[in-house]
Structures are given as C-alpha cells and as structure tokens.
Structure 1
C-alpha cells in the first residue's frame, strides 16, 4: 500500500508546476462560489458547471474540496498538490483492495502498475480530474470496507462514507452496488453476508438521486451525447462503440501514444459493418471467453475483466451521455480491473525472477511515460500544442487552428480549417458560429447567414447565433436598401 502511494505521488509530482488548464478555467478558476461561498448550503447546491455553461451536474464533494483549497491558497499549484495527495490515496486503496481479493503479492503488483499507468495523467495533471480521483478513492474505500464487513459490521460505516464520497464526486459511482456484488462473488461469500454492504453502498447513491431533484440542477450529465453520436439510437450507439472500444484497450494495454483529444476526425464513428466492428466484436467475445475459462483457475483475470465491463459502462456513450467519444481521464477507475487482471496473470509465471523483471520493466516504462506526459497539461498553450501534435485531424484542433488563422489575418486558411472542422462535426454550432463571425467581419453576409441559419436550426436556444443572424440580416437589408433622394 505504502509503495503504491509513494510511487503514485512521485510520478504525479511534476504536475505541481501546472497552471489551470482547459476545463479548469471554467469549473474551478474564478468561480465566485468556490472562492467566496455565500453559505454552506449554497455551496452544496452549486452545480459543477457554472450557469454560463448550462449549470448542469451536481458534484458536491469535489466542489467542496475546491472551496476548501481556496481557503488555503488560490494558487493552481496548491490545487495540483492536493490532486497528488488524492492520486496517492487512490493507488493505496486499490492496492489494499487487490490484497483483499488476491493476496499481498497480487496487491503489490496491482498497486505499482496502477500508480504508474500513463492513462491516469489526464486525471491527475489537470485540476478537474480530481473528480475521478475522489470518486475512485471513495469507490475503493467502500469495497475494502464491504469485504471487511463480512467479519465486523462496523465497517459498514466505511461503506456508506466511501459510497457518499464517490457519488458526491462523480456519477460513475452508480456502478458501485454492482462492484460490491462482484467482489463478494469473487470471495464466494454467501448472499446472507452480501446484502448488508450492498444496502450500505446503495443507500448514499439513492439519496444522491433523491436530493438531486431538490437542488435545482436539471441533468446528471453535461454536454449531451458525444459529437459523432448525435441522432443515433441506443443500438446504433452500441454498435458504433464496439469499434471505438478497441481504443480503450489500446490505452489500457499499450499506452505509448496518448492524446489530448479523441474526437471525430481522429476517430471515425460508423454504424456500418466494418472490419473494425468485426475485430471489436471478436475481441469482446474473446475477453468473455477468457474470463469464463479462467474463473476458477485464475479468478483474478475474470474479476478484472468484469470490473472493466461494470465501471466503463457509464462512460461508454450507450446508456448515459458522456460528451466525449473517449477521454483518458474517464478510464481511471476501469483501469484497476486491467492491472488487477494483469497482476493475477503474472502469478501464473513459474519463475519469480521473470515475473519480477517483467513487473519492473512495466513500472519503469509506465512511470517514464507518465512523467513525460505531464507537461502536455501545463497550461492552455502547451495543451493547445499537444492537441496540434497528437490530434491534428480532430474537429476541436481544426476549430482552434481556424480561429488562430483568422486572428492572424489569414482568412483563406482560417476558412479552410473551419470548414474541415464543420465537416467532422456538422451538428455542432460552435465552429459554424465562429466561421460566420469571420465572414461578417469581412462583410461576406450571405455565407455568414447560411452558417448562422444552420446553427440556430441545430440549437434553437443558441442565443449568440440568433443575435448574430439578426445582425447579418440587418446588414444585408441596409446594403440593398435604395438610397433616399432629397426633395
């Protein structure tokens, strides 16, 4: 446990130099309610996203943690330091959980691999990633206490507190009751033992959903469906994600290439029958077969794979909208299942020397990759450059580059980049609005009107689009109005 915590802290330590970046700017920085809360009740009712972004999602635990941070310091470096503490705590708790499930050696290997996994960098190196860290910590705490409650019922208090922390930090904790059942199945616990921790884990989650309706926050998620999945039904989204899920497994198992963005342009959303769909389908069938065949001989593999299936479901864009096709930080909690399965598989090696060597290589490689990745989240400029390097075809990158080209006085390349962005994200209003504004600056009213009409048709509540459209139509009217002749 201690080794995992120290290693996670060491790997995350360079992030203490980071500034507020990307979503930090809107969620954490300059939030008056966090800096100067009017009352505790107002703070607890504050939505995760500010009103200017729709005032959606309720995460009182993580919001309270940022408010406490502001009582100490407004420096982003302090916020990142606290993120490092949470990352160390999460690694320690998952190491303990693995020990409870499979013994100290598997627990140690799991903790070390989890501590250095490169896919965790996004969750640790930007402040909003704390939601992942806190939710995962609460999740692991609840499960450790659920196991120990088999012998001592007082640990049920820990289950309740862990579940409350998890669901108050991020909605992914809705899967905690299923995970409670999973760990007890792994331990072959009788059902008369399972029901108490199951109820203890479910009660705070149920309370969260009940209270949510009284705090005035409309939805449990922000941003709606991911770009590229618009207008797809449940079955179409599921089929599209079968192919895209291969990217999850690449990031879990071979995270050499990391990206600041996984959006249309870089990824292709398709509901057709493609070779990638067949590979994805065969891959999942293969994983299911592996889990079934090893459920008795190496149960850790089956447990780990079942963990991934359970914990990745809220961010799979099937049942719950998750705004992004894929985001590395959302793989933080599911990754425990992968490293636990790998640690369990490592125990099959007859040679301890070979096992230790392979684990050491994986830990060193993972730690080095993680440390090298941290600067990509240092500030907005470095994040933007990471986007350009790692996701040059993403509609987000093309959109930002187009804005830069217009600002630099290069309208031809700006238009080309914006149109490319629109091609990859035709249902999004933002690029159309930005392009229309650029057209209006050049007094190209007709193409501006065309883009704005599409934008407001896509989103009738898009107030800036309506305002710009009225302005463009008025300009056209003034242009074609015949001059008045003096009497």
Structure 2
C-alpha cells in the first residue's frame, strides 16, 4: 500500500507535465527523427549511436532509452503528451523502487519517508519534464531492480538489469561497484560471491565492448563547445577545482531548490581559479568528511555507504572530475546523486519524534509545491526560455534562446535587445548567430541574414539549423 502512495504522489505532482511539448533535445532526438514510430527502428537502436542523426556526434550509446522512445511512439503516437505520460509513469515507478530497496536495509517506516522525500525533490523536474531525461530515470530504475533481484538471490535477473541500466545511460557504470559491495558484505557463500561478481563484471565488459563497436573512435569524443562546457577548455587542475566547487551547488539545488534553471552554461557559472575560493573549500570539506566517515562507526552503516556511493559515483562521472563531459552542470545529472543525498540524510532519523515528522511533512509539501510550480515552466520552450532568462541573466545561451522566442512571436524589439545582450557575453555562439540570421531574415535583410548563417557554419561546420536556414533563403 505504501508503494502505491508513493506512485500516486508522483503522478499527482507531475500530472500537468502531460500537457507539455517537446523542449530542447526532445526536438533533436524525438520530434525530428523521421523513423520515430517505425517498427523497423526498434531493432536498429542496438546498432547505432543515440544521436545517430548528428554527423560527427557519436559520443552516446543508449539503445534501451532509444528503444523506449520508438516503442512509445508506436503505442501512443508521436505527440508529446504520450512521451510525457510514460516519463511520469516511469518516474513514479522509480519512487516505488526506492521504497522497495530501502525497506530491505531500514525499517518500512524509514523507507517510506525516504522514498517520499526523494519523489518530491524539485531538482527532478528537468529529468521528468525534459523527455530525453528518461535516460536518467531508466538507468536508475533498472539499477534499483538489479539491487532488488540481488536481494532476492535472482542473480541472472540482477545482472540483466545492470546491463539494461548501462544500455540506458553510461552513468549506470557506478552500479557495478555498488552491487559488488552489497554482495561481498552479504551472507552468501564465497563461491556464490565469486561467481556473481564475475557475472557482473562480464556483463559490464560486454557492454563496453558493444559500445566501442557501435561508436568506434567517437565513443570517447566530446563535441561540447565553450558555451556548453568551458571546463573542456581549461587545464586539468582548474577543471578539478571547478568540479569540486560545483558539489555544494548541486547539494544546494537538492535541498534549497528556490532557483532552478535548465541552463548553467558559459558565464552563468563563473570559472574559479583559486583553491581557496569558499566554494572549493566547501566542496573539499565535504569530500574529506565523506572519506573520514569511513573510519567511524558509519562504515558499518549500509544506508550511509550506499548513499555515499550513489552520491559520489555519479558526481565523479558527470561532474567533470574524471574528464570533461558535455555540460558544466545540469540538474538532470543530479538524479542519481539526489538519492544519495536522501539516503545520507536518513541517518539523522528526522522522523523519530512526532514533531520532527510534522516538520518533514511541511518540508515535503513545500517541495511538492515547488515541483508543481516548476512543472508549469516546462510546459513549453517559450515559457521555459523566457522564464529562465531572468535568472540566467549572464548566460549567452539563456539570453539567445529567450530572444528566439520573442522573434517567433514577432516581437523584434525585445528579441533584438536580448540578442544584443547575448552578443556582449559571447558573440561567437553558433545558436546566437543563427538567431541573428533569423532576425535579419524576418526583418527583410536577406543579405545580413546570409552573412550570419555563413558565419555560424564557419564557427560550427555542418550545424543543421544554420544549414537548413541558409538553404531556405537561397
């Protein structure tokens, strides 16, 4: 019954998102895919990159996620509502799975409250409302199933779920050491432990080989621009400094979600050069405390250890620690880590007293309300881009995207103002050049429009938007 309550809560707070449209990468991955809704595309997903339509951008391999999109289109049609509906159902299912996993290691009451808190976290709005955020939802959900099947000693199913999680999104690689930890410190016989660990490793290696075969040299590529991830263009030392500084930011977005944004790109997050910056010191302190906790009685606390692993594992991979990724920071990238935060906070037993329970209820109501409000921002690109441009006022991407919305509405005065503001931040941004081209084209100056589209292609050869727009004015 408690699982159904969590499931129902998720559907209620995200119900409005069913009325949303395609936003950002949804257009690129789903709406623009000519094979969406084709039966033949179902089988093709295993043998091609996630961004298969983007020439030279083969860096992601997520066939389970792609398969789910094609199947989704076959069942509900190509309209955005069907994709949003499935995202909502999958997210609700993940909330339930969090409860089922937690109840294996803590009391049912603690598991229920932990899962409820996870479900209402406003930072999840990007992963749920942005349809391509399904990769985060599927990967975590399938990993949780792998954990549950391990608890039930269904080793083959556990390994299969790990494989499917990896095929949903690369971040699931952190699931391997977690599953090994749970098994090694479990009560199984030594020969069973060795056999199952070998099975997990074999599954993971098989995934890596398959990924390498499909992606080839592009598997290690990173096409992020200066705007998308400036940490790609700095020294290793400075990248790590900033990665450490972003840890407190992420935790702040989980616990104090007052200002949420789809964009944290170039200039919105100022780069840090000093190890003595308070944000770097704060992040470093968190790392030291985490390591130090392993030398206390907490090292025997399974909830704490799993929370640490679920927090730091994904942060290490998607937080630019080990290597630069496609973006400097993203709320959707904290989907896994947010569960780690919840599990670590569970050790404080905030629901042990009745008055603490009511404080927790009030907090959940506030979180749920913030989630619902944020869902309205995600109903359309226009709402999202214009709303977030007010917060991300130093971002060339946010200002340029908002300008495009005003241009589409034929508000050329406001659109030009935002284009000029974006240009003062970073004039060589290809999307900005494309938007300038649209501005001149719709203003009747095809000559200047052509110049902007050509400049865009010089900056980013093969960029589909500028290529298609240039052809339209020829």
Same fold (TM over 0.5): yes
For residues 35-434 of structure 1, what are the structure 2 equivalents within 5 Å? 35-38=37-40, 40-52=42-54, 54-56=56-58, 57-74=60-77, 75-149=79-153, 155-184=154-183, 193-215=192-214, 218-219=218-219, 223-224=223-224, 226-273=228-275, 274-290=277-293, 292-295=295-298, 299-346=302-349, 351-403=352-404, 408-410=411-413, 413=417, 416-422=420-426, 428-431=429-432
* Change over 3 Å in CA distance of 1:69–1:404 after alignment to 2: closer
The one-character-per-residue Cα deviations of 1:165-220 (angstroms, maximum 9, x if unpaired) are 21111111111111113434665877655434433333333222212233356326
In structure 2, the gaps of 5 or more residues are: none
* Change over 3 Å in CA distance of 1:383–1:102 after alignment to 2: same
Residue 11 of structure 2: aligned partner: 9
Larger radius of gyration: 1
CA distance in 2, matches of 1:467, 1:60: 28
* Change over 3 Å in CA distance of 1:337–1:378 after alignment to 2: same
Residue 22 of structure 2: aligned partner: 20
Deviation at 1:353, TM superposition (A): 0.9
CA distance in 2, matches of 1:192, 1:312: 33
Deviation at 1:292, TM superposition (A): 4.0
CA distance in 2, matches of 1:276, 1:39: 46
Question: SS state of the match for residue 91, structure 1?
Answer: helix
Question: SS state of the match for residue 151, structure 2?
Answer: helix
Find 1:33's aligned residue among 19, 35, 60: 35
Name which of structure 1's ranges 128-137 and 363-372 shifts more when overlaid on structure 2: 363-372
- TM score, norm. by length of structure 2: 0.84
Deviation at 1:298, TM superposition (A): 5.1
Deviation at 1:127, TM superposition (A): 1.2
* Change over 3 Å in CA distance of 1:272–1:79 after alignment to 2: same
CA distance in 2, matches of 1:156, 1:262: 41
Deviation at 1:87, TM superposition (A): 0.6
* Change over 3 Å in CA distance of 1:156–1:253 after alignment to 2: same
CA distance in 2, matches of 1:372, 1:27: 26
The answer to whether the 8 Å contact 2:135/2:168 transfers is yes
Question: SS state of the match for residue 268, structure 1?
Answer: coil
Name which of structure 1's ranges 258-267 and 63-72 shifts more when overlaid on structure 2: 258-267
Name which of structure 1's ranges 374-383 and 260-269 shifts more when overlaid on structure 2: 260-269
The answer to whether the 8 Å contact 2:102/2:111 transfers is yes
* Change over 3 Å in CA distance of 1:320–1:296 after alignment to 2: closer
The answer to whether the 8 Å contact 2:385/2:405 transfers is no
Deviation at 1:403, TM superposition (A): 4.9
Deviation at 1:466, TM superposition (A): 11
CA distance in 2, matches of 1:196, 1:89: 30
Name which of structure 1's ranges 401-410 and 76-85 shifts more when overlaid on structure 2: 401-410
The answer to whether the 8 Å contact 1:156/1:197 transfers is yes
CA distance in 2, matches of 1:459, 1:369: 38
In structure 1, the gaps of 5 or more residues are: 150-154, 470-487
The one-character-per-residue Cα deviations of 1:331-382 (angstroms, maximum 9, x if unpaired) are 11111111112223216x7x53134223322322221111121111111111
Name which of structure 1's ranges 253-262 and 75-84 shifts more when overlaid on structure 2: 253-262
The answer to whether the 8 Å contact 1:34/1:63 transfers is no
The answer to whether the 8 Å contact 1:291/1:305 transfers is no
The answer to whether the 8 Å contact 1:138/1:161 transfers is no
Deviation at 1:276, TM superposition (A): 2.4
CA distance in 2, matches of 1:91, 1:467: 42
